[in-house]
Amino acid sequence: MPTCKLTKRNVDILPAPVGRDEIWWDEDLKGFGLKITPAGRKVFLVQYRPSGDRRNPRKYTIGEYGPTTPHQARVEAQRVRRSDRAALCRRYSKGGTRPKGSAATHGRTDRII
């Protein structure tokens, strides 16, 4: 997995790969990357694991390079990662609003006899 600091200067000089898509990951922000297609299209993305799922990382497309600057993409990637972490904290915090009862009863413990 190639890495570099994703700045405007570096993104401009990255070559188009031969054969298949290539993702360049940012050195500073974990999960932030730039996908380059063989046709030369460059798209910013962020990889994250929803709700602490270790096995199934997901990729969120931020936007195409040109209309979206590297700085805008970095800010959006931080927002996506922060919102995912906040959802995880809400889900597992002690004061969080978890449904009472098991998934089978859906909180209807008064009907179980």
Q: What is the pLDDT of residues 75-108, one digit of tens each?
A: 999 998 888 665 655 555 545 454 444 444 445 5
Kindly tell me if the per-residue pLDDT of 3 is higher than 70: yes
Compute the distance between CA of residue 4 and CA of residue 24 in angstroms, rounded to an integer.
Answer: 7
Each residue of 34-66: pLDDT tens digit? 999 999 999 999 998 877 677 888 899 999 999
**Cα distance between residue 11 and residue 73, in whole Å:** 12
Q: Which domains does the chain have, with CATH numbers?
A: 3-95 (3.30.160.390)
Which residues neighbour 28 within 8 Å (Cβ) at sequence distance 6 or greater?
A: 5
Cα 84 to its chain centre, rounded Å, is: 8
pTM of the model: 0.73
Residue 109 confidence (pLDDT) above 90: no
- Distance, in Å, from the CA atom of 11 to the CA atom of 106, rounded to the nearest integer, reads 50
